[in-house]
Structure formats: structure tokens, C-alpha cells
Structure 1
Amino acid sequence: MSEQLATHTVDSEGPSGKASPDSREPGQTGSEDLLGAPSPTRGLGWLLTVGGFLGFLASFVLMVERIELLKDPLYIPSCSLDAVLSCGSVMTTPQAALFGFPNPLIGVAAFPAVVTVGAAVLAGARLPRWFWLGLQLGATLGTVFVHWLMFQSFFNISALCPYCMVVWAVTVPIFWYTTTHNIERGHLRLGGFGRALVAYRGPVLAAWALSVVGLVVAVFWTHWSQLLS
């Protein structure tokens, strides 16, 4: 009897005396650290790093262009290509300084933080739930803000800022994949609806992007048709 008990103990703990993977409590995975924080996927790390870097670069260039325009009102920004694709037309509107300072300053401050999180994930960091919820809040506010800017560009300013569009293009995927990561790892609990979002995250993002592109084409159709004629 004592030999059987000893054999059972070795089987459940493994040769080293530690609990084997099969003896973990339900819900535990091998990617969890002592805090219980799962290790994020490398894909998310690359998205945050590359997307954050592109967003910072576009915001930084916009800030430089804005400074040049302040120094010389006749300055033509490098991203002012025609009547519609014109950063200069957007920069001089009240919407371009919604909080009393140029909007690109927000990106210059925020995107380096995104890059830092991405680099930490790629390095193998396992961040606690409160950290991911903080990133979720920032990404959500950023996404709401860029959609407000989209609306203003489409229907009030009637011009598109190419560098701003780069910021739009990286902010939405950062928000979306941060959200699905948080749902998948239990940081956000949305039940069956959350599981559906995770299962269809690729198609949802594709539909989202196509909707924005469709609006750009439809709202400025006269301009595009003239370019193609």
C-alpha cells in the first residue's frame, strides 16, 4: 500500500517533485506567472510595436509641419497634395486643436507608450489585468477620438490629411486586438458576445476598414473620378 501511494505521488508531481501540467487547477495554463497573468501572443506584441511606431512617426511629422505653418502662414506642408488631400487645410481648423493645443501632441505622447508595451510583450513580459485595462481605456479613447476626426474630415472640413489617415489606420487595429486579447484572457468579461468577437476578430476588423474606405470613396467621389478621368 505504501509503495502504491508513493508511485501515485511521483506520477502526479513529476520526477522533480513539482506539480505536472496535468495536475493544474482548471483554468490554469502553462503561460501564467505567479500573478496569474497570461503571456500575450507575439502577434499582439508586434502589432503594438509597429503600429505604435508608425503612429508616433506620423504624429511627429504632423507636429513638425504644424510648427512650420505657425512660423510661416504661407508654408505648404509636404502632405498637401491637392484640394482634398491637404494637411494644411485640416491643420488650420478648430478641430485640429480640440483641447487647446495641436492634436498631434496627443499622438507624440501616447504612441511611445504603445511601443513600450509592445516591446515588453515581445520580451516576454506578463502584465497584470489592471495594466491591460489601462491600455484598453487609452485605446478606446483614442479610437473614439479618431472617429470624431474622421467625421469632421468627411462632412465638415471636406479634406483629408494623409498623415492623419496613417494614425487612423494604426489606432483601430491597436484598439481592436487589444480588446479581443482582453476578452480572450478574461480581463474583459462579455460572455457569449465576447467569445463571438474573438472568433470573428479578423472579419470584423476587415469590415470596419472597408467601411471607412467606402466612406472615403463615397464622400470624395467627385474628386477621385476627376483624378481618374
Structure 2
Amino acid sequence: MTNAAAANRTAERADSRAIGAGRGLAWLLVITGAAGLLASWVITLDKFKLLEDPNFTPACSLNPIVSCGNVMKSEQAAAFGFPNPMLGLGTYAVVVALGAGLLAGARYRRWYWLGLNAGTLFGVGFCTWLMIQSLYEINALCLWCCLAWIATLVMFWYTTSHNVRHGVIPAPAALRTFFDEFTWVLPVLHTGIIGMLVLTRWWDFWTS
């Protein structure tokens, strides 16, 4: 049987049963979801204060570069017509609830795991767009936004790893083996790339 055929059979078996997860992934979803939820909550509160008082300065506005206020006032901060963190309040809460369910022994069907994977992939894409906008258009960083970025990419990579290893996403044996042993490499590398972009974007400021 070819690797592709074996992967498809594994996916078919995953379709017919509910799949749980280890406590490691469950806790990771709870923690990263809570981190994203905290960031969204703080930004939402500061956004309300900014609407009440245009001269309000958020606590995380530390200098011309690390300036949450400048990010909140930008057009990109309401990409869908409402403040971005309001989207986070709903989506990160779902992740926390899902992780808590796994801790309690819940098991989910393949379509549910694929939905989580699709949602976290959208989150990574949206966070990447926001990061590019912050670095090259808004020219400012929001520390709470950075926390949400990191939380989202970590939950994406570990959800993807779980789905590949359990046959939810068909994949060759070599890729399953890689995710078994080296899942941690991907979020570390992803975070490192973001860190290097931030460092090089304002190198003169950081080193002055």
C-alpha cells in the first residue's frame, strides 16, 4: 500500500470515530486561548477608554515604537468594521472551552478538529497581516497584540501536529514522524522570524 493510500485510510478511520487529545495539548489550548482572551479583553477596555477620551494613553504605550494607542487608532484596528479584539473575545473563548473539554475527557469528531485547524489557520493569517501592517504601515507595535500573535501561532502549530499525527489530516509517514518528535521547532522558528522582523525593522531605535 502506498503512503498516500495509507494516509487516506487513516483519515477514513478518523472520520468514523471521535478523537481525544493528551493533557499536554488540552492545557496548551487552555493557556494560549486564555492569553489571547486576556490580550483581547485589555485592548477592548483600552479602546473604550480611547473612544471616551481621545487623549487617553494606554499603559502599554511606552515609546514611539511600542505604542498601543497608535495601533488602536489605525484603520487596520477595525479590519471588519468593528474593533479587532472583539473578534478575539469570541474566538479565544471557544479555544479555552475546547481545551477545558479535552481536560474533562471530551472527544471530538474529525470535522470538529478540522474546524479548529481552519480557525487557527485563519487566525495565523490574520495575525500575519496585522503584523505586517504594524511594522510597515502603522509603524508601531502593541504588546498585547504581540501576545495574541504568539498565542495564535502556537495553538495553530500544535493543533496541526495533533491532526497530522492522528490521521485527521492525511500525511505521509515521514511528516507524522516529524510532528511526533519536532513539533516544538515550528512555533519556535515562527516566533523567531517575527522577532527578527521586529528587531531589524527598528534596529536603529533598539540600538540607540
With normalisation by structure 1, the TM-score equals 0.81
Q: 1:180·1:197 contact (CA, 8 Å) conserved in 2?
A: no
1:225 — aligned with what?
Answer: 207
Alignment correspondent of 1:91 = 72
Instruction: Check if 1:182 corresponds to 2:166.
Output: no
SS at match of 1:124: coil
Shift in Å, 1:41: 1.1
How many Å apart are 1:190 and its aligned residue? 2.5
Whether the 8 Å contact between 2:19 and 2:110 is mirrored in structure 1 is no
Partners of 2:174 and 2:129 lie apart in 1 by 26
Mapped to 1, the partners of 2:53 and 2:183 lie a distance apart of 45
- Could you tell me how far apart the structure 2 residues matched to 1:72 and 1:193 are? 56
Structure 1 segments, 4+ long, off by >3 Å, are none
Aligned residue for 1:203? Answer: 185
- Alignment pair present for 1:65 and 2:36: no
- State how far apart, in whole Å, the 2-side matches of 1:141 and 1:204 are: 17
Task: State the match for 1:76 in structure 2.
Answer: 57
Q: What is the number of residues matched between the two proteins?
A: 196
1:212 to 178, 182, 194: 194
Once residues 157 and 192 of structure 1 are traced to their aligned partners in structure 2, the CA distance between those partners, rounded to angstroms, is 43
The higher-RCO structure (CA 8 Å, 6+ apart) is: 2
Structure 1 residues 205, 75: closer, same or farther in 2, change over 3 A? same
Taking the aligned partners of 1:196 and 1:94, their CA distance within structure 2 comes to: 43
Question: 1:137 deviation in Å?
Answer: 1.1
Change (3 A) 1:196 1:158: farther
Structure with the higher helix share, 1 or 2: 2
Shift of the alpha carbon at 1:204?
Answer: 2.1
- Aligned counterpart in structure 2 of residue 144 of structure 1, from 92, 104, 125: 125
Deviation for aligned residue 1:193: 6.1
Rounded to whole Å, the distance in 2 between the matches of 1:197 and 1:103 is 35
Q: Percent sequence identity over matched residues?
A: 41
Higher alpha-carbon Rg: 1
* Unpaired stretches in structure 1, ≥5 consecutive residues: 1-26
Q: 1:55 is matched with which residue: 5, 25, 36? A: 36
Specify the SS of the correspondent of 1:153.
Answer: helix
Using structure 2 for the length normalisation, give the TM-score: 0.89
- Aligned-pair RMSD on alpha carbons? 1.9
* Deviation for aligned residue 1:205: 2.0
Alpha-carbon distance, 1:78 to partner: 1.2
Alpha-carbon distance between aligned partners in 2 of 1:150 and 1:197, rounded to the nearest angstrom: 28
Matched with 1:4 is: none
Say if 1:154 and 1:219, in contact at 8 Å, map to a contact too. Answer: yes
Shift of 1:157: 1.0
